[in-house]
Every structure is written in C-alpha cells, then in structure tokens.
C-alpha cells in the first residue's frame, strides 16, 4: 500500500538515508527504532514529502513518484502528502485555536470540506480519542497526553492512507504516554496503517507488527517485532535493544 524503494537523502555532504527500502502493507504497523541521528525523522519526513529524497521512488496507493535531481512538481508532491497524516513529538497544535478548530482547520482549508461536515468529522474523532468534553478549550489547558491525542485526531481527520508518528510518546511522563499508547493500539486494532519512530519499547513491542532497526542511515535489520525484540539476528540489533528500557 505504501512503499519506498532505494531512497537516498543527503543534507549537503551528509548522506542521511542510504538506499532505504520498506513496504508498509495496508493495516500494518511498523516501528522504526535506532539511535539519535540515525535518520528516523528524516525517513518519516521523506514518507510525507516534507523532505524530498535525491533518488529512489515511492508508491502510495495509486500514486507513484520517482525521485531524480529534478524536484517533483508541487502538485505531485501534494497528491501524496495529502494522503498522509503526521504526529510530532511535541504535538505541534495551533496554540490559539480550540481543540475542535485544531482538527477542522486543515479539513476546511486544505481539503475543502464543508464546515458542517468538518465539525461532524472532528467530533467523531474527539469521541474516539476520549476528548469530546475538551472540544472548546485551548491546547495549553490540556495535559501532554491529551494534547497528543488531539494531534492524533487532527492527523486522522482527512482519512490518510498512512499515519506517521515521530516519537509520539517521548515528551510524555510514563502515565501520559500510556494513554497515547492505548489510543495508538486501538487504531492499530482498527486497521490503521502506521509508521512510527520511537524509543518506547512498550509502544514498539505492543503495537507494531514489524520493527525496523535503523543505524547511520542504513536498515540493519527488519523483522516481526517479537523476533526483533526477543531474538534478533544481528548482534548490533541486540546491543541496541539492550540500551532501551
């Protein structure tokens, strides 16, 4: 359903992603683990075309894009990026908009959805993440866990084909992280296709079907999560996993 093939990304001379290939089957959850600076965020940003790789190709649903020296046309970028949703470590909610406005804004402006329909969609998603009662408050009045649940609802609002999460629990205390893990697990059970960068062993092991270990821009090992966490094939993977708590 979504695939990246032979992706290379450079920042000047820094070769950050080295010939990365991965496939996310529809309804699957993939965790991306690896040390800081290994390229996890860059890979997520390439998957939604916030960053443009220098070579490789990607396919999302019926849309295919081949990366060359010539940058893709913005309408071709948009065709793919609008089918992805992104959740950031620090929530990135609009501070001066209410919870419901945070969710409806993109639907109305980017996706041209009629306002009444956008509100109905946002209300359904707030119910799903357990925050209907916070509909009209500003993000700053919410806990971090609640803010991240709003961010997840916002990312899901346009019904993206894939939800990309960049360390969605890293800024949260364990108790608040747990409520975000619960929401992500529920989404996984409902068949949401997800790719998530994380250092949270519990999140990766309990929600992801497959896990990719990335180091210095290269995929060291990809396996089903149980295998990767309990009996990895590469010594380097085992060493890294031992550093996670």
Write out the residues near ligand ADP by the rule CB under 6 A. 11, 14, 16, 34, 36-42
* Shortest CB 11 distance to ligand ADP, Å: 3
* Shortest CB 91 distance to ligand ADP, Å: 17
Write out the binding residues for Mg ion, residues 61-80 only, by CB under 5 A. Answer: none
Q: Enter the DSSP assignment of 209.
A: S
* Shortest CB 53 distance to ligand ADP, Å: 12
Distance CA 80, CA 175 (A): 35
Cβ proximity to ligand ADP, 36 vs 136, nearer residue: 36
Cβ proximity to ligand ADP, 101 vs 166, nearer residue: 166
Cβ proximity to ligand ADP, 14 vs 231, nearer residue: 14
Check: CB of residue 2 under 8 Å from CB of residue 59: yes
Tokens of 89: 């470590």
Q: Which long-range contacts (CB under 8 A, 24 or more apart) does 204-211 make?
A: 204/31, 204/33, 204/229, 205/229, 206/181, 207/29, 207/31, 207/181, 208/29, 208/30, 208/31, 209/28, 209/29, 209/30, 210/28, 210/29, 210/30, 210/31, 211/30, 211/31, 211/32, 211/33
CB-based contacts of 56, cutoff 8 Å, min separation 6? 4, 5, 6, 7, 8, 19, 20, 67
Cβ proximity to ligand ADP, 39 vs 145, nearer residue: 39
* Shortest CB 192 distance to ligand ADP, Å: 22
* Shortest CB 126 distance to ligand ADP, Å: 29
Distance CA 47, CA 193 (A): 13
Q: Residue 37: which of ligand ADP, Mg ion, none does it interact with, CB under 5 to 8 A by kind?
A: ligand ADP
Q: Which of 28, 30, 38, 41 binds Mg ion (CB under 5 A)?
A: 41
Cβ proximity to ligand ADP, 20 vs 131, nearer residue: 20
* Shortest CB 177 distance to Mg ion, Å: 17
Q: Residue 147: which of ligand ADP, Mg ion, none does it interact with, CB under 5 to 8 A by kind?
A: none
CA 228 to chain centre: 20
What burial class does residue 54 get, using C-beta atoms within 10 Å of its C-beta: 0-12 exposed, 13-18 middle, 19+ buried? middle
Cβ proximity to ligand ADP, 34 vs 106, nearer residue: 34
169 binds Mg ion (CB under 5 A): no
Q: Which residues bind Mg ion (CB under 5 A)?
A: 40-41
């Amino acid at each position: 359903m979504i695939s990246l093939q032979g992706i290379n990304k450079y920042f000047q001379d820094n070769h950050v992603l080295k010939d990365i290939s991965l496939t996310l089957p529809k309804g699957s959850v993939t965790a991306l683990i690896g040390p800081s600076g290994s390229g996890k965020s860059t890979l997520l940003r390439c998957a939604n075309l916030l960053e443009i790789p220098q070579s490789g190709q990607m396919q999302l649903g019926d849309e295919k894009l081949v990366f060359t020296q010539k940058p893709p046309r913005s309408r071709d970028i948009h065709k793919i990026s609008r089918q992805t949703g992104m959740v950031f470590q620090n929530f990135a909610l609009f501070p001066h908009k209410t919870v419901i406005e945070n969710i409806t804004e993109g639907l109305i402006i980017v996706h041209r959805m009629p306002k009444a329909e956008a509100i109905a969609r946002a209300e359904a998603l707030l119910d799903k993440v357990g925050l209907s009662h916070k509909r009209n408050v500003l993000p700053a009045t919410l806990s971090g866990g609640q803010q991240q649940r709003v961010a997840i609802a916002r990312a899901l609002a346009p019904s993206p084909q894939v939800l990309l999460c960049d360390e969605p629990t890293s800024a949260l205390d364990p108790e608040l992280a747990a409520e975000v893990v619960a929401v992500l697990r529920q989404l996984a059970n409902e068949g949401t296709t997800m790719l998530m960068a994380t250092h949270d062993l519990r999140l990766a092991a309990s929600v992801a079907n497959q896990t990719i270990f990335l180091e210095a821009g290269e995929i060291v090992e990809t396996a089903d999560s149980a295998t990767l966490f309990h009996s990895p094939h590469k010594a380097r993977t085992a060493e890294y996993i031992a550093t996670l708590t």
